[in-house]
Structure 1
Amino acid sequence: MTLSQSRITRFLKSVHPYDALPDPVMNDLAQEIQVLEIEESSAVYAHGQELPGVYIIYEGQVEITDENGAVVSHLGLRNSFGERGLLKGGIACTNARADTPTVLFVVPTGMFQSLIQEHDVVSRFFDRKRASRTGPQSLATTAIDVLMAAAPATCDASMPVQKAAQIMRDKRISSLCVTEHDSLVGIATLRDISSKFVANAMPDTTTISKIMTPDPITLSPSDIGSDVLHVMMERGIGHIPICEGGHLIGIVTQTDLTHYQAVNSAEMVRRIARAQSAEEMALVTADIPQLLVQLVAGGNRHEIVTRLITDIADTATRRLLTLAEHKLGSPPAPYLWLACGSQGRQEQTGVSDQDNCLMLDDSVTDADMPYFQELARFVSNGLNTCGYFYCPGDMMATNPRWCQPVQVWRDYFRGWIAKPNPEAQMLASVMFDLRPIGGQFELFEDLQAHTLGAANANSIFVAHMISNSLKHTPPLGLLRGFATVRSGEHRNTLDLKHNGVVPVVDLARIYSLQGQLSEANTRARLKAAESTGVLSPSGARDLLDAYDLIAEARLEHQVRLVKSGEKPDNYLPPPDLSDFERSHLRDAFVVVKTMQSAVGHGKGMLS
């Protein structure tokens, strides 16, 4: 196929990051582009082959498989491939085959390397590592859209002052924004009502327009906290409407600033540790979504955010154990409360249920069991009150199966390892993430070491665990490289939990099992797997980068929901992603799929 340079240029201007290149560079690139026509089912390149450059799909579809022949992605119009091999030395890391008659543009190696070195927009795009974080921010440097209350209460100018006062009372707010045809025309505060309406004994028929401040000073969501502070101090006001494009979108008050400063993990831990009831703790944990917003907006890395949020759950659990002992009396035997799931791995986000169990000293008797059953109910009910809802699978200490002496737990693990049926695989996966929270920690230490050793020594069990770990697959499909949820409430979204972070969590657990590693946290497991030789440095680096990108995309999605007044979840609509984000997320999924294939073929280490 012969294409004119102008046609090539028009196409490149529709593909990021090339669309951001200066015109002279774009013209040079268009001249360098090689056009290839590939017949249906024909190979583009094979694993280990030297690459001529980076490929861009102009027409058709391409299937990408790993060195073992497992499909990792289907790519379509404007998708790029081959760049990972170029960045690693010029050798193809995967196989590529045309699904249909396909036309490809090839950016030659020399041109690609020049673009990477000389143009930040290109180097940033093809740098698959997560963006650098700037570190924690203060109130003064925090963006207003984090500080503001969205969808402020409004009224029109003709509303009687008395009615406006009733609205403020019922909504427990201190101001009303006065609007006309969606435009802000004024603001009225409780101070205006007391100092103007009440103090001047104005008639009952007085409208809000008579006491409001007309055309109030506003700020935009792109401003920062210091702008709010300076305006409030200079003007002596306590309410600032936030407008964008002439439309009211939020408001910042002195109360919002105070609340922001009060919402931090250390203060929340302090309040929970002194709480006298689950209801009192729930007043604190209700601020976790706002804490999530602040931590992410403050530039904190995902493993820091999830660790701080998990610390709150740990503190609530320990406090509930203390309150339970105050109510029930001293325990009749030593015990240990353990968490599994995301709390066990210290990876809780804005959405968390509870997964926990009790290990009891072998001296416990049947007569002692009612005490521990009541303790489990007290703590589990308290956690539910705090927003950590009951586990749908009943993996909780309230289930008698998961409230047992240590010897019974030894028998559990021994049985799961000896006969790894589907239930045993599922339970072992959950229980290998156990982490002590409160009680006698030594009850778990010997059990953990013994279990890891026995599991590692049983090759059949390890093989079954590997097979079980591959059931959650990254969402790679035909639509721009993504396979979305097919039906139900979350149709056409990406499940960033089960198809995003869970595949990496499962891989890290397998590496932990192979290396008899005691860590429960996913990132810690991957690093330990590298340091002990279970995972090669390049494999660890790729998987860590992919995990970081997916985990941070999940948190940023939850933050967007919280800021819009919705409950956080794990279901990301692909249209919410920019082309830049879509490309990076797809590549992260490809890395995970490739690592799954390597483990599935008995290659735990990648070179």
Structure 2
Amino acid sequence: MDQILQFISSIHPYDSLPEDELTRVAGSFARREYAADEFVYRHGERLDGLYLIENAAVEITDAHGGLVSSLSRGNSFGERGLLEDGAAATTARVIRPGAVLMLPAAEFRHLLNDSPAFARFFRRGRPATRGGADIATLKVSDLLTRSPLSAAPETPIAEAARMMRQAHVSSLGITDPSGALLGLVTIRDMSNRVVAEGRDGSDPVSAIMTADPVSLPPSALGSDVLNAMMERRVGHLPVVEAGRFVGMITQTDLTRVQAISASVLIRDVAQADTVGDMAAVTSRIPDLLVSLVAAHQRHEVVTRLITDIADAVTRRLLVMAEAQLGPPPAPYLWAACGSQGRQDQTGVSDQDNIMILTDGTDPADPYYESLARFVSDGLNAAGYVYCPGDMMATNPRWRQPRSVWRDYFRGWIEKPSPEAQILASVMFDLRAIGGDAALLSGLQAETLELASKNSIFVAHMISNSLKHQPPLGLIRGFATIRSGEHLGHIDMKMNGVVPVADMARVHALRGRLTAVNTRARLEEAEDAGVISGRGARDLIAAYDLIQSLRLENQAALVKAGRKPDNFLSPSDLPDFERSHLRDAFVVVRTMQSALGQGKGVLS
């Protein structure tokens, strides 16, 4: 037992346990010597507990025999099966003889419940438990409670009302024979458009429906439902998949679960009357970050919810600007790029935005200049500081008609100078926030097709994606910052997140993929065959770890009363986490090398 105690006291997360608890846990371990080629367990077998390698080497393979990982001293395995149904999800075979410890399953679950560090370590990258499920992080498909009720557009109003009464619902989807959604009718429509106006009940229901209503896909988050209902003041949202009406989300559905504070912040932003009111709301984002990280939410959920707040602030500022300046002379689009465009904002973000004007509009029109200044100043006051590179709609260069933007993209693609590479990288992350989204959608598709066909431009983009290198030093160390305020730290954004984001952008370009979010791009690239399955999974796993540690570090800074930033000291991490972080950076560097060698990097 003394030998086991000494061993686990140097292994994370056991090193976080109090001394008496650590001693008790050491006594619960079983120890066994394994011979070479002996199986610890096979796929599908019931697991007795969590395994920890003392001095052997173990190979983990999937159900098809594919290599998952090669493990050695200090590595754990078996937790995936224990966290799911108790059956082994992989096969573990000893490839170098030695001792393996086994923590009984009951003790493993006890530690998951009682030790935050233990739970954080073994549940990293896994969804939070459903016991405390929040609507903001549930998918819309999880919120649907019944099959959709629909009617044809020629259905008489009286018949439609009877259908709603019999089904005890407050809304009805109007669809064509293929199931495509044409419109929506609610109880309020029956009251306001039929009873109040004395309309004949034999009239077709299409006469009172709301045509082309706002809808969401089943994959959308519950936060999308809340945001849309609060901003648009509606109580019903149709759910559409592949063009077909598949369900309805109502305010009644939302009462079944509790919304997290991200949705409360969205509500407060939508109701803000002044920029000061919005700044008071966004000042609560660091606390939101802490609570989301503490709840073990996946990093892509955390960054998505935080970005949603920035989107709501931007849209509210656009409404306030138009209220002050009057309606715009012609339609425009406000789009975000950078981290807001990719929907991966964290506790620290500046603003990156542009405006696309309707062709024929004078870009020097004082209206648009005033609108851009109002919104940009408001974002800065709300904590989204001015872009250091002046990538903002206040810059006349980035406030132009659609035809000028088309020329911009064509010029960057046909003459890929260093500046063009940087600008193209930024602009490929554009996402519509407010205004006429059609001004961007067709332009993006056209640009993707044009760029993907230009091999020289693609080669330049690959070259540009390799400029930010992971912070790897010699002899399994890190290349930390050597001077200044952040001495001994690594920049988790510029040397961790950005290299992956740059590669994901290249893969999206090569595959003409429309996703903007980094993780979504990698997933779509794998599905499209642009990147190998194993390469995509490795890179996604590395990205997940880097982003998770980045967010945990920011949350720790906030809890310590400091402003969150992107700088992490490797020495602050336990040995196990530090080793895994370095392994993640090795994966990023390996994938960079493969990308460069595969397509030829320009010198």
Alignment TM-score > 0.5, same fold: yes
State the secondary structure of the residue aligned to 1:436. Answer: strand
Contact 2:462 2:596 survives alignment (8 Å): yes
Structure 1, unaligned runs of 5 or more: 1-5, 34-50, 54-77, 95-106, 141-260
The one of 340, 346, 350 equivalent to 2:347 is 350
Structure 2, unaligned runs of 5 or more: 16-21, 40-52, 71-92, 109-117, 135-257
2:494 maps to 498
C-alpha separation in 2, matches of 1:111 and 1:117: 19
State the secondary structure of the residue aligned to 2:432. Answer: strand
The alignment covers a number of residue pairs equal to: 421
Counterpart AA for 1:109: I
Distance verdict in 2 for CA 1:598–1:84, change over 3 Å: farther
Counterpart AA for 1:267: V
The one of 576, 583, 587 equivalent to 1:587 is 583
1:294 matched to 2:291? The reply is: yes
The one of 105, 123, 129 equivalent to 1:135 is 129
1:425 matched to 2:421? The reply is: yes
C-alpha separation in 1, matches of 2:56 and 2:543: 20
2:551 maps to 555
1:309 maps to 306
Q: TM-score, normalised by structure 1?
A: 0.62
Contact 2:31 2:102 survives alignment (8 Å): no
2:540 maps to 544
Contact 1:18 1:26 survives alignment (8 Å): no
Describe the superposition over 1:171-212 as per-residue Cα deviations: whole angstroms up to 9, x where unpaired. Answer: xxxxxxxxxxxxxxxxxxxxxxxxxxxxxxxxxxxxxxxxxx
Contact 1:296 1:556 survives alignment (8 Å): yes
Pairwise mapping of residues 453-468 of structure 1 onto structure 2 (< 5 A)?
Answer: 453-468=449-464
Residue 383 of structure 1 and its aligned partner are, at CA, apart by 0.2
The one of 67, 72, 95 equivalent to 1:109 is 95
Distance verdict in 2 for CA 1:529–1:478, change over 3 Å: same
C-alpha separation in 2, matches of 1:539 and 1:579: 26
Describe the superposition over 1:391-436 as per-residue Cα deviations: whole angstroms up to 9, x where unpaired. Answer: 0010000011100011111111111111111111111111100000
Contact 1:129 1:549 survives alignment (8 Å): no
Residue 299 of structure 1 and its aligned partner are, at CA, apart by 2.2
State the secondary structure of the residue aligned to 1:592. Answer: helix
Distance verdict in 2 for CA 1:519–1:442, change over 3 Å: same
C-alpha separation in 2, matches of 1:129 and 1:587: 19
Counterpart AA for 1:333: A
1:324 maps to 321
C-alpha separation in 2, matches of 1:471 and 1:129: 33
Q: TM-score, normalised by structure 2?
A: 0.62
Give the structure, 1 or 2, with the largest relative contact order (CA under 8 Å, sep 6 or more).
1
C-alpha separation in 1, matches of 2:584 and 2:310: 30
1:408 maps to 404
Pairwise mapping of residues 159-198 of structure 1 onto structure 2 (< 5 A)?
Answer: none
Residue 132 of structure 1 and its aligned partner are, at CA, apart by 2.7
Residue 133 of structure 1 and its aligned partner are, at CA, apart by 3.5
Contact 1:136 1:300 survives alignment (8 Å): no
**Higher-Rg member (1/2):** 1
State the secondary structure of the residue aligned to 1:437. Answer: strand
Distance verdict in 2 for CA 1:112–1:314, change over 3 Å: farther
C-alpha separation in 2, matches of 1:129 and 1:532: 29
State the secondary structure of the residue aligned to 2:483. Answer: coil
Distance verdict in 2 for CA 1:118–1:108, change over 3 Å: farther
Counterpart AA for 2:458: V
1:530 maps to 526
Which deviates the most, 542-551 or 431-440? 542-551
Distance verdict in 2 for CA 1:136–1:304, change over 3 Å: farther
State the secondary structure of the residue aligned to 1:336. Answer: strand
C-alpha separation in 1, matches of 2:13 and 2:522: 31
C-alpha separation in 2, matches of 1:299 and 1:441: 34
Counterpart AA for 1:291: L
Contact 1:546 1:589 survives alignment (8 Å): yes
Distance verdict in 2 for CA 1:346–1:539, change over 3 Å: same
Distance verdict in 2 for CA 1:467–1:115, change over 3 Å: farther
Residue 361 of structure 1 and its aligned partner are, at CA, apart by 0.6
Residue 265 of structure 1 and its aligned partner are, at CA, apart by 1.1
Give the superposed CA RMSD.
3.9
The one of 579, 589, 596 equivalent to 1:600 is 596
C-alpha separation in 2, matches of 1:403 and 1:575: 45
State the secondary structure of the residue aligned to 2:297. Answer: coil
1:186 maps to none
Counterpart AA for 2:469: T
Counterpart AA for 2:494: H
Pairwise mapping of residues 77-156 of structure 1 onto structure 2 (< 5 A)?
Answer: 109=95, 111=97, 130-135=124-129
1:158 maps to none
Contact 1:263 1:290 survives alignment (8 Å): no
Distance verdict in 2 for CA 1:561–1:81, change over 3 Å: farther
Identical counterparts, % of pairs = 58
